[in-house]
Amino acid sequence: MANACCFILFIALLSNCECARILSVFPSIGYSQFKLGERLIEELVAKGHDVTVISLFEPKNPENYTTITLKELKEMYNPGSGPELTQDVDLITDVKMVYEVGYYITEEILKHEKVQNLLKSDAKIDLVLMEHFFNEAHMGFAKHFDAHLVLLSSIGLCEWNYNLLGNSFLPSINSVSFLHQTNSMNFWERLKNTFVGLSINLYQDFVSYPKQQEYLDKYFLEKMDLKDLMYSAELMLLNSDPSVGDNFESNRATIEIGGFHIKEKPLPEQLQRFLDTAEEGVILFSLGSNVKSTDLSIEKIQDILNVFAALKQRVIWKFEDLDMIEVPNNIIVSKWVPQTDILAHRNMIVFITHGGILSTTESIFYGVPMIGIPLFGDQRMNVARSVKNGHTIHLPLRDLNAETLQTAIDEILNNPKYQANARKRSNILRDKPILPIELAMFWIEHVLRHDGIDYLRSTSLDLSWYQKYLLDVILFVVLISLSSLVLFIFTVKKIILRIYSQNNKTALTSHTNEKKKKKKKN
């Protein structure tokens, strides 16, 4: 314990850093992703840094820093209403959707009048802190202001960001985030993973990156090369932790800070009383900030309501249309719920969730078993990992009905392994020598204190993809081996031919001599 305290004190002393001018770019349309950025911003401001924020959401305490809030972009974005939500999104639609969102937020932010005014100003920026989410052209802010670049990945290391800091992402041991599988794959899963991963890489190289280059050329005054920008980041903060997902190999410039956003607050009085008096426990149901429960089909909503109404447990349901259903006494429905603070309550027993990375991390942090209903994106991967770790039941949306939901709830409540595994993972996630938010602050300020951290730059960034995976070496060895084999075969063939020729010559000479002898004798 004493060693841990000394270590934390040591880190705290090292973290003293002069006030820096930081531009934070958190462009996500999803509020859950913005929460990650907001937590970092709050801590940076608390440490005395001068922070300017570009985002689509209004921060809670904007008086403490400068905001360039572009909430009208979020209100303008409308991908279409589509059919009722009856099953999770198919893979191709899923991949296309996230890239389209990336194109939208990248261009709309860059061309916005407020952002253009910032680019044309004489503002001085020391560091750009940016969420990387299919918005590579936003890295141009760092080049424009001659500032250091630190990236944040909201889901950890994955197929669209591993290359930025020179990490390796092998299809044999790293599952694509859009697939419902873990890093422990059988042959067919590895085959699918290889095909999907290669397809995404080709799409990035020939479609996505050229689009991002167009945005750079159009909205920045100076000429910038996207490939140079992409590999200019000095640090990447990963919203991941081995206790939440799979372990992976990464270099020292990628720092895991999973759980850094968790910060408990008091519950509203009504919710506090509802939870405190729940003798049989409480179940929380939420599909996150990007999907509404009201998007479910009427049949599924009614099935869910019937199951909840028959439970002896109490239920809190994030439901956006309060007039749409009749609510039984054991259920509270609300358009918004303080999810983290509810999960922290001692009477929480089950969390029915879409499986987003924040929801998954919070559930594990507080040791609450889950029923996962993944819909799109990394949710499939998160639920698959949670099932593998033994604290979650996967319930596909297409299979969701009264019977399957009741069965899943009964299994969670009656099988102690789910609670035990959730607590085990919680203990691992909490067992840290330093709080994740403090670790994030240390590394951001480390970049500032030392005017960059080139010493952590991966040498793999200097190699082409074929050099990185030794394809040139393998080709060289194969060619040398083939050449040696051909030379060996040619030499052996020449020797055999020479021996054969010599034998024929000897035989012919012998035959000739015999004929001469016979002729002379005759």
Q: In what order do the strands lie in the sheet with 254-256?
A: 66-69, 50-55, 21-26, 127-131, 148-153, 235-238, 254-256
Residues 109 and 54: their CA atoms lie apart, in Å, by: 8
pLDDT tens sequence across 157-167: 999 999 999 99
Q: What mean pLDDT comes out for the span 324-344?
A: 93
User: Is the pLDDT at 139 greater than 60, yes or no?
Assistant: yes
Per-residue pLDDT, 13:
46
Per-residue pLDDT, 23:
97
Integer distance in angstroms from the first to the last C-alpha of the chain?
116
**Residue 473 banded pLDDT, cuts 50, 70, 90:** very high
pLDDT tens sequence across 246-263: 888 889 999 999 999 999
Q: What mean pLDDT comes out for the span 28-33?
A: 88
User: Is the pLDDT at 309 greater than 50, yes or no?
Assistant: yes
Are 248 and 157 a contacting pair, CB within 8 Å? yes
3-state helix vs strand vs coil in the chain, percent to 5 = 50, 10, 35
pLDDT tens sequence across 210-241: 999 999 999 999 999 999 999 999 999 999 99
Averaged pLDDT of the chain = 91
Per-residue pLDDT, 260:
97
Are 156 and 247 a contacting pair, CB within 8 Å? no
Neighbouring CB atoms inside 10 A of 113's CB total: 8
7-21, 73-87, 264-278, 330-344, range with the lowest pLDDT = 7-21
Q: What token pair was written down for 86?
A: 């009856």
pLDDT tens sequence across 424-440: 999 999 999 999 999 99
Q: Which residues pair with 134 in a beta bridge?
A: none
Are 286 and 337 a contacting pair, CB within 8 Å? yes
Q: Is 328 left (phi over 0), alpha (psi -120 to 50) or beta?
A: beta
Q: Which residues pair with 55 in a beta bridge?
A: 26, 69
User: Is the pLDDT at 522 greater than 70, yes or no?
Assistant: no
Residues 179 and 175: their CA atoms lie apart, in Å, by: 7
Give me the percent of the chain exceeding a pLDDT of 90.
75
**Residue 2 banded pLDDT, cuts 50, 70, 90:** very low
Positive/negative CA dihedral, 276, 259, 23, 109: negative
**Residue 520 banded pLDDT, cuts 50, 70, 90:** low
pLDDT tens sequence across 413-424: 999 999 999 999
Residues 151 and 159: their CA atoms lie apart, in Å, by: 15
User: Is the pLDDT at 4 greater than 70, yes or no?
Assistant: no
User: Is the pLDDT at 90 greater than 70, yes or no?
Assistant: yes
Per-residue pLDDT, 264:
86
Q: In what order do the strands lie in the sheet with 348-353?
A: 331-334, 314-318, 282-286, 348-353, 370-372, 392-394
**Residue 501 banded pLDDT, cuts 50, 70, 90:** confident
Phi, psi of 341 (to 5 degrees): -70, -30
Are 32 and 57 a contacting pair, CB within 8 Å? no
**Residue 73 banded pLDDT, cuts 50, 70, 90:** confident
Q: What is the dihedral of CA 192, 195, 197, 198, to 10 degrees?
A: 170
**Residue 18 banded pLDDT, cuts 50, 70, 90:** confident
Residues 236 and 33: their CA atoms lie apart, in Å, by: 16
Question: Helices 357-365 and 31-46 meet at what angle, rounded to 10?
Answer: 60
Residues 444 and 222: their CA atoms lie apart, in Å, by: 27
How many angstroms separate the Cα of 272 from the Cα of each of 57, 276, 277, 513? Answer: 28, 6, 9, 119
User: Is the pLDDT at 471 greater than 70, yes or no?
Assistant: yes
pLDDT tens sequence across 175-220: 999 999 999 999 999 999 999 999 999 999 999 999 999 999 999 9
Per-residue pLDDT, 8:
47
